[in-house]
Structure 1
Amino acid sequence: MKKLLIVRSASMQQLDKNLKKIMQLFPNDEYEYYILTHEHSVKLVEKYEMIKQIVVYPYSQSFSIKRRVSEIKDEWYDVVVIPVANLTGAGFFNVFQFSLSLKTKRRVVCNLVSELWDITPRQIYWMRIKYVLMSVISIIFAAIVGLFVLLLLPLKLIWLKKGE
């Protein structure tokens, strides 16, 4: 039997909708379903009969590669499904990165309208590189604008005072 882990990163209402499509693509007669969720959602997740095991994310903060789950550190999953609450997965980089801490053959994103697509470690690393590059560019731009303002603002104030 293959193992499928859902990293619950979207709302329960969305997961209700997504599960139908997930189960179509990964039938529960071929897959055992596991779910990783925060403690406050355990009671809500218990309603799903197909879930073999609920794994509690032992932190109150959001998913992070820095906060690994020791309970499943040695577990292998055939598929890890990452539900996202939009069409593109934007804003869920922390969950994608967290998924790199899980031993799996395949990572699948499931969006708001239950479209599923694979995401590879290479794509996640590329997202990280783009994030770092954009951060550096933003810092440089902010520094240039800041210098411009600091140098020209006193001149503008002097000019305004002379105009009185």
Structure 2
Amino acid sequence: MKRLLIIRSASFQQLDLNLKAIEEKYKGYEINILTHEHGVKLAEKYNNVKNIYVYPYKGYFKKGYSIKEIENIKFDVIIVPVTNISGAGFFNVFKYALSINGDKIVMCNVVSNFKDIGDFSLYIMEIKNVIFKVAAFLITGILGIILIPTLLFKLKSIRKK
């Protein structure tokens, strides 16, 4: 039997909707979920989920954090649900998915569209992340250089009144 792992990176309300599309697209697959400890009880409501694996770490999914329960399991598909159309903001989850033994990684977006995420896609995401971080840093710095003296001048003129 083919195995599928869902890395629960979206809310359970969204997963309720996505799960129907996942079951339809991947008929005959054994469905497993990886979730944080606080999500286990909510994940237990899914009758068609074979195993619920606990991500024992606090905070976000981070590459390099291993889970002994799934180290020796090979998954045919690893699905990452995202709460938007593009998958922006979920780069860490995709990187984490690379550390799991699986044949392919698939993004399932908010409207249950599926997109294969290959190594090249992840490199492009990483480049975009770096570009946006640098741009945000530069814009913040430039605005700071302009706004701080302006605000200090305004504050000085307010004090005089």
Normalising by structure 1, what TM-score? 0.81
Alignment match, 2:120? 122
**Structure 2 CA distance, aligned partners of 1:33 and 1:25?**
12
- Unmatched 5+ residue regions in structure 1? none
For 1:58-78, what per-residue CA distance to the aligned partner results, in whole angstroms no more than 9, with x for missing partners?
112111114332322232110
Structure number with larger C-alpha Rg: 1
1:13-28 to 2 correspondence within 5 Å?
Answer: 13-28=13-28
Q: Which of 33, 36, 39 matches 2:34?
A: 36
Question: 1:83 is aligned with what amino acid?
Answer: P
**CA positional deviation for 1:128:** 1.0
Question: 1:5 is aligned with what amino acid?
Answer: L
2:40 counterpart SS class: helix
Runs of 4+ displaced beyond 6 Å: none
Instruction: Tell me if 1:61 matches 2:56.
Output: no
Change (3 A) 1:137 1:12: closer
Aligned residue pair count: 159
Q: Identify the range of structure 1 (116-125 vs 64-73) with the bigger mean alpha-carbon deviation.
A: 64-73
**CA positional deviation for 1:146:** 4.7
Change (3 A) 1:134 1:11: closer
**CA positional deviation for 1:13:** 1.4
**Structure 2 CA distance, aligned partners of 1:127 and 1:34?**
26
Alignment match, 1:108? 106
**Structure 2 CA distance, aligned partners of 1:142 and 1:112?**
31
Alignment match, 2:79? 81
**CA positional deviation for 1:107:** 0.9
Question: 1:21 is aligned with what amino acid?
Answer: A
Instruction: Tell me if 1:136 matches 2:134.
Output: yes
Q: Identify the range of structure 1 (129-138 vs 11-20) with the bigger mean alpha-carbon deviation.
A: 129-138
- Unmatched 5+ residue regions in structure 2? none
**Structure 2 CA distance, aligned partners of 1:130 and 1:113?**
23
Normalising by structure 2, what TM-score? 0.83
1:105 counterpart SS class: strand
**Structure 1 CA distance, aligned partners of 2:112 and 2:44?**
21
